[in-house]
Amino acid sequence: MKIELAELNQVKITWPAYDATTEAQISERLSMVPGISGFGRRRYAHVIFVPLLMELFPKASYDYDALRVSDRLAQAFYSMCVRFDLELTFDESGAIIAVGEGASPLIQQMISEREHALRPFVAEALRHPLPKLQPYEPWQGPLTAEYARLEPLVKGIQNAKKKAMEQEIRYPKRRRTKKERAT
């Protein structure tokens, strides 16, 4: 069996002819991959499912580009979940679940479909959890002596910008007519 990158987000799965029993086993295993398409001995799947295919077909030949793109997409999906304040963790059965305000059945379904790709990221995050970010607080003053020296300059620039914006609101620039521009 050969699994290679067909398009930017799709892998092509091909295999030589086998006996009817082996072909039936291959088709049965491939039916476990969400959204797989194709017929005969050529199927297509989304590239994020490469880790699942690796589990289903450990002896297959995998294209390096397919592995690289799959890993990159899984990392992007995991980062998106973290950005939306979803904590991904393992439940008692070992499945990945989303915990947080934004967790919904649809997001949980997407996480369940991509579970094989997300497993290494969740395991690493649980080993080394990221610190919780503090809420944003406005700037409280200079951080170092060098910044303290530059503070009057920064204040002056901010005041000049504010004054220019106020003048623009009070006295908008008048557009010159074609006749005025010609002279």
pLDDT in tens, 4-53: 999 888 999 999 999 999 999 999 999 999 999 998 899 999 999 999 99
Is pLDDT of 141 > 60? no
130 located within any domain: no
Looking at mean pLDDT, say which of 137-141, 155-159, 176-180 comes out highest: 155-159
Domain count across the chain: 1
Residue of higher predicted confidence among 36 and 178: 36
39 assigned to some structural domain: yes
- The verdict on pTM exceeding 0.85 is no
In a domain, 8, yes or no: yes
| Token pair recorded at residue 84 | 């939306």
Does residue 10 form part of some domain? Answer: yes
| Assigned domain for 147 exists | no
Give the C-alpha separation, 178 to 183, whole Å.
9
- Domain of residue 26, residue span: 2-68
CA proximity to 60, closest of 35, 39, 40, 43: 43
